[in-house]
Amino acid sequence: MRPRVLFYVQHLMGVGHLFRAMRIVSALVAAGMDVDLVQGGEPVPGLDPAGATVHQLAPLRAGSSNFSDLEMPDGEVADDEYRQSRRKHLLDIFERTQPDVIITEAFPFGRRQMRFEILPLLDAARARRRRPKVVASIRDILQENRRPGRDAETAEYIERYYDHVLVHSDPALVRLEATYPFAGRIADRTLYTGFVTPEAASTGTDVAEFDVVVSVGGGVMGRDLLFAAAAAQRLSSLRDARWCIITGINTPERDVAQVRALASPSATVERFLPDLRAVIAKARISISRAGYNTIADIFRAQCRAIVAPLSDGEETEQLRRTELLSAAGLIDALDPEDETPEGIAAAIESALARPVPDRSGVRLDGADFSAKAIMAMLDGTLADTGGRRG
């Protein structure tokens, strides 16, 4: 009988969490598991279920004025009735599917707004005579300026409910203790999977070829970088090279128009490229933010990478990731104060003056290793999965 996995994922703003989860889902299915994906964010058109059964909860997103708030699709803050309906739906899915494994993406290290439904799910799992394995799936870097007491509470949740924590990182580069002070307390439950990256992209002749590729994910936090990079082309020694600027689907049309106005007439400006990984793989230089999925794409592509981390005074994730990867010589970091046309042009010259970084030693098998580890948890062979303990 095929093992059954219930995978809970909630995206609140961008869709990076969901896309990373889908790479793991695909690997779980390929490894012979039945997967029920519980998706709590707003529906994503054209999402490939990767062989999973998708269960869509009544959608919630981050508040427009306060990230901790939860809004319904109409923009109103979710009331108790809406939350209770979601909680009941989630528990009904659990009862119907009878999973062997429950995976929560981000929680309890993040997505604390969802405690109203995740904790009842975990309590229901604990009450089972044949208790399912419970696993947390987290990225390499955690938010560091959390409120006092939250890190200790997270460790308490792990000790109370969870069998294992899958950290989607290469421990030679980024370890959990870099951004989580209680990592030692849960080390016996921690497994490093390697980075969850896409398959190596095809770089055939049908893939568009550019020298410089600028991308900002969905575009929610990419406006300033888009403007600076577009204006940098005329200042760079690559002014006559082939530039492609991808604004992201969430960038307002007025900002897209401004990018076109700032860029050289020879630049290609697109909102979205379905084969972005392949385009980056053929580029000389990538210019981007430092989100997890973007870095995963860069690791797969053997090109120079200039990374400008998001710096809004609150978020620490991208700054920390950039600091660690820059120290390892895997990327060229652009300080927030240098996110200007002149700063980007100078960064291009600096990157071109050095060899392409050697990323061949970075573990990029995070999705496949996660599936291997889940299967090993079920058949009692976890000790044989490669020794990537915390």
* Average pLDDT of the segment spanning 250-260: 94
Kindly state whether residue 329 falls inside one of the protein's structural domains. Answer: yes
Whether 374 and 303 share a structural domain: no
Identify which of 65-69, 142-146, 291-295 has the greatest average pLDDT. Answer: 291-295
Q: Please indicate, yes or no, whether residues 373 and 291 belong to a single structural domain of this protein.
A: no
Cα distance between residue 30 and residue 39, in whole Å: 20
- The reply to whether 357 falls in a domain is no
Task: Please check the confidence at residue 163 and state whether its pLDDT lies above 90.
Answer: yes
**Residue 350's closest CA among 296, 301, 287, 281?**
287
- pLDDT over 70 for what percent of the chain? 95
**Among 4-18, 151-165, 168-182, the least confident range:** 4-18
Are 33 and 374 a contacting pair, CB within 8 Å? yes
Same domain, 134 and 236: no
Pairing of the two strands 70-71 and 61-62: antiparallel
Q: Rounded to whole angstroms, how far apart are CA atoms 42 and 35?
A: 20
229 within domain boundaries = yes
149, part of any domain: yes
- Give the pLDDT band of residue 175 (cuts 50, 70, 90): very high
Of 109-118, 134-143, 246-255, 363-372, the range with the lowest mean pLDDT is 246-255
In 3D space, the residue among 169, 174, 136, 178 whose CA is nearest the CA of residue 369 turns out to be 169
pLDDT band (50, 70, 90) for residue 112: very high
- Tell me how far apart the alpha carbons of residues 10 and 54 are, in angstroms, rounded to a whole number: 13
Please indicate, yes or no, if residue 26 is contained in any of the structural domains.
yes
Residues 120 and 190 in one domain: yes
Are 12 and 131 in a shared domain?
yes
Is residue 348 located within the same domain as residue 374?
Answer: no
pLDDT tens string 312-354: 777 789 999 999 999 999 999 999 999 999 999 999 999 999 9
Tokens of 286: 């990538």
List the one residue out of 268, 234, 237 whose CA is nearest residue 352: 237
Using DSSP bridges, classify how beta strands 304-307 and 285-288 pair: parallel, antiparallel or unpaired: parallel
Residues 294 and 188 in one domain: no
Q: What is the pLDDT of residue 205?
A: 63
**Is-above-0.75 flag for pTM?**
yes
Task: Supply the mean pLDDT for the chain.
Answer: 92
> Who's near 180: CB < 8 A, 6+ residues apart?
109, 142, 151, 154
- Whether 332 and 235 share a structural domain: yes
pLDDT band of residue 276 (cuts 50, 70, 90) is confident
| Nearest-angstrom CA–CA distance, 82 and 57 | 11
At 269 the pLDDT is: 97
Does a structural domain hold residue 230? yes
Residue 209, φ and ψ in degrees, nearest 5: -120, 125
Residues near 130 by beta carbon (within 8 Å), at least 6 away in sequence: none
Q: What mean pLDDT is predicted for residues 187-195?
A: 97
Residues 67-82: what's their mean pLDDT?
91
Do 10 and 124 fall within a single domain?
yes
DSSP symbols for 174-215: --GGGT-TTGGGGGGGEEE---B-PPPPP--TTS---SEEEE
Q: Let me know if residue 368 belongs to a domain.
A: yes
137 and 276, same structural domain? Answer: no
**The pLDDT value given to residue 388:** 65
Same domain, 182 and 307: no
pLDDT of the residue at 355? 94
The whole-number pLDDT of residue 274 equals 82
Provide the pLDDT for residue 201: 61
Q: What 3-state DSSP class applies to 34?
A: strand
Asked if residue 243 and residue 184 are part of one domain, the reply reads no
**Over 70: is that where the pLDDT of 258 sits?**
yes
Type and span of the H or E element at 83? helix 80-97
Count up the domains in the chain and report the number: 2
Half-sphere exposure of 363 (CA within 13 A, CB side): 21
Residue 77: Cβ within 10 Å count: 13
Q: What's 274's domain CATH number?
A: 3.40.50.2000
Domain that holds residue 250: 212-352
Separation of alpha carbons 111 and 10, rounded Å:
8
Look at residue 100 and tell me whether its pLDDT is greater than 80.
yes
- Flag whether pLDDT at 387 surpasses 70: no
Cβ within 8 Å of residue 195, ≥6 positions away: 140, 168, 169, 170, 295, 296, 299, 362, 363, 364, 366
Q: Residue 59 — very low, low, confident or very high, per pLDDT cuts 50/70/90?
A: very high
Produce one character per residue of 158-182: b if its CB has 16 or more CB atoms within 10 Å, e if not.
Answer: beebbbbbbbbbbbebbbbebbbeb
Give me the pLDDT at residue 106, please: 96
Q: Please indicate, yes or no, if residue 205 is contained in any of the structural domains.
A: no
Query: Residue 254: how many CA atoms within 13 Å on its side-chain side?
Result: 0
Cβ-contact 205, 226 below 8 angstroms: no
- Beta carbons within 8 Å of 376's beta carbon, 6+ residues apart: 382, 384, 385
The predicted structure's pLDDT at residue 46:
82
Cα distances (Å, whole numbers) of residue 387 to 1, 105, 375, 382: 28, 23, 15, 9
Read off the pLDDT of each residue in 19-39 and give the average, rounded to a whole number. 97
